[in-house]
Structure 1
Amino acid sequence: MLPIERKMRIIEYVRQNRTATIAALAKQFGVHEATIRRDLAEIERNGTLKRTHGGVIMEQWTQEEPSFTERTTLNSDQKMRIGKMAASLVKDGESIIIDSGTTTLHIVKHLLHRNDITIVTNDINIAAELRDAHRVKVILTGGELYSSSFFLNGMFTDHVLRSLHVEKSFIGTPALHPQYGLMHPDERVVPAKQGMIKAAREIIVVADHSKIGKLSLHTVAPNSSIHTLITGKEASEFDLQPFRDSGITVYTV
């Protein structure tokens, strides 16, 4: 097999399996591990794959978020589990920020009957969910309404967030990368998410398994800013271990 053909087949193999070890690739293609390492170095320079310790992964990009309606049906059972776990970390008497999103919406479903909690959010759906929670104080940030997703954003949102100090912020994201951290394809929402992170003592990221390992255009915050990650049991240990190695507490539910 010619080297160029082997590299093409390596890319296809990793694309189908998402990850591969050097040993597995050497066995698959009947060559020495040193040959595979040289192949992977050249492939990585072309930006197709990303080498890791002892293996390789296929870089996956998030170019844009689906609509709110589409996102409500994606991994919905997993998001319910994540929401329940996240809510269990909230203590009575705390002030918290809950970011907009379909995963974060499931957090508040488990906070409706809690006592003396203040929830700040930029999400109309989250505020509406809490309308009958009489022992929960709800603060909307204000801002420009993004009607496709029912959240508030912009200068007014950023101004309010800069004035706040809370115990915890629960942040949603379409992409969480082991090297580049929290990411998002839309630069317009980055300042609000950064404001939520700066306002809190503890940052808890809630993301279903499909968001783990993804790249996107803009970095919101490095992994060093994150204290806790809650994701689904569907996430692979291969994907989660780099976050644990960064000192992040990881829950799989």
Structure 2
Amino acid sequence: MNATERQQQILETLDLRGRLAIAELSARFEVSDMTIRRDLAQLEAEGLLRRTHGGAVRSQSGNFEPPYALRTRLNAESKRAIAVSVVAQLADGETVVLDGGSTGVAIAEELVGRKLTVCALNLRVADVLMASPATRVMVPGGEVRHGEQSFVGPAAERTLADYRFDSYVMTVSAVDMTAGLTEWNEADAAIKRAALVSSTRCIVACDSTKFGQTAFARVAAVDAADQIHTDTHLPTDVRQSLTAAGIAPYIS
């Protein structure tokens, strides 16, 4: 296992548990304590965790939005599989609203070359799609959130209200059968609500770690989604709850 693969596993385990010890990591990966210390130092320099005496903890509390740089390193293979599944549901000629975040960027990368009109709610997504001459790219305007690079605010919401889209591909921070689809940032949640109102169909794309979680700002009830695309690690009880609610999940 090389350093990149080891660091990826460190981040994914830390995301699940919140705290890790150097001795435990050294034994798990069969490398020296010094090697683990170098890994943790590099990840801390990227803002992906915080070192402690003898180990590391998450860079932020679980009650706050994780930084984009961390999210793009977590569950990358699952997000790519989800992206392939979502894109298969979009027909050439459709008008589509596409969210941002690490999953949104993965979906944009799979859309390159498709004959679609895509309203990108994020600068990173728009940049990816601009590489595709076949794709008509729109952006809603308004304010751009620092770090996330997502469009937010009343101007962006008004732009969305002026159009009617075939599909909205929504990414979310958390999914809970009672709390619904939720986001860490209330301005992002408001844009998602506006996109939902302006779209005929809602396709939710999120990896299995988001289920059973609740973030700060509510977007909509779970049944606002016409489709939910996730990965093979979705717990059986969650799959059964979604199916009972009439939303059999697409598993990739």
Do they fold alike, i.e. is TM over 0.5?
A: yes
Give the C-alpha shift of residue 62 in structure 1.
5.6
Aligned residue for 1:100? 100
Aligned residue for 1:207? 206
| Contact 2:228/2:248, CA 8 A, preserved across alignment | yes
Give the C-alpha shift of residue 142 in structure 1.
0.9
Q: TM-score, normalised by structure 1?
A: 0.73
Cα RMSD (Å): 1.6
Q: Could you tell me the percent identity over the aligned residues?
A: 22
Q: Which runs of 5+ in 2 are unaligned?
A: 1-16, 18-60
Aligned residue for 1:71? 71
Q: Secondary structure at the match of 1:86?
A: helix
> In structure 2, what residue type is equivalent to 1:83?
A
Instruction: List structure 1 runs of 4+ shifted beyond 3 angstroms.
Output: none
Alignment of 1:23-34 (within 5 A): none
Q: Residue 185 in 1 paired to residue 184 in 2?
A: yes
Q: Residue 135 in 1 paired to residue 134 in 2?
A: yes
Partner deviation per Cα, 1:53-103 (whole Å, 9 max, x = no partner): xxxxxxxx9622211111100111110110111111110010000011110
Q: What is the rounded CA distance, in whole Å, between the counterparts of 2:162 and 2:241 in structure 1?
A: 33
Q: Which runs of 5+ in 1 are unaligned?
A: 1-15, 17-60
Give the C-alpha shift of residue 218 in structure 1.
2.4
| Contact 1:227/1:249, CA 8 A, preserved across alignment | no
Q: What is the rounded CA distance, in whole Å, between the counterparts of 2:174 and 2:108 in structure 1?
A: 22
Q: Residue 119 in 1 paired to residue 126 in 2?
A: no
| Contact 2:239/2:248, CA 8 A, preserved across alignment | no
> In structure 2, what residue type is equivalent to 1:206?
A
Q: TM-score, normalised by structure 2?
A: 0.73
> In structure 2, what residue type is equivalent to 1:217?
F
Q: Residue 241 in 1 paired to residue 235 in 2?
A: no
Give the C-alpha shift of residue 238 in structure 1.
1.2
Q: Secondary structure at the match of 2:156?
A: helix
Q: What is the rounded CA distance, in whole Å, between the counterparts of 1:105 and 1:131 in structure 2?
A: 12
| Contact 1:62/1:214, CA 8 A, preserved across alignment | no
Q: Secondary structure at the match of 2:250?
A: strand
| Contact 1:183/1:219, CA 8 A, preserved across alignment | yes
Q: What is the rounded CA distance, in whole Å, between the counterparts of 1:141 and 1:154 in structure 2?
A: 10
Structure of higher CA gyration radius: 1
> In structure 2, what residue type is equivalent to 1:63?
N
| Contact 1:101/1:172, CA 8 A, preserved across alignment | yes
| Contact 1:203/1:226, CA 8 A, preserved across alignment | yes
| Contact 2:145/2:152, CA 8 A, preserved across alignment | yes
Q: What is the rounded CA distance, in whole Å, between the counterparts of 2:99 and 2:111 in structure 1?
A: 15
Q: What is the rounded CA distance, in whole Å, between the counterparts of 2:220 and 2:122 in structure 1?
A: 21
Partner deviation per Cα, 1:86-144 (whole Å, 9 max, x = no partner): 111110010000011110111121211122x1000111011110122111100011111
> In structure 1, what residue type is equivalent to 2:136?
K
> In structure 2, what residue type is equivalent to 1:238?
D
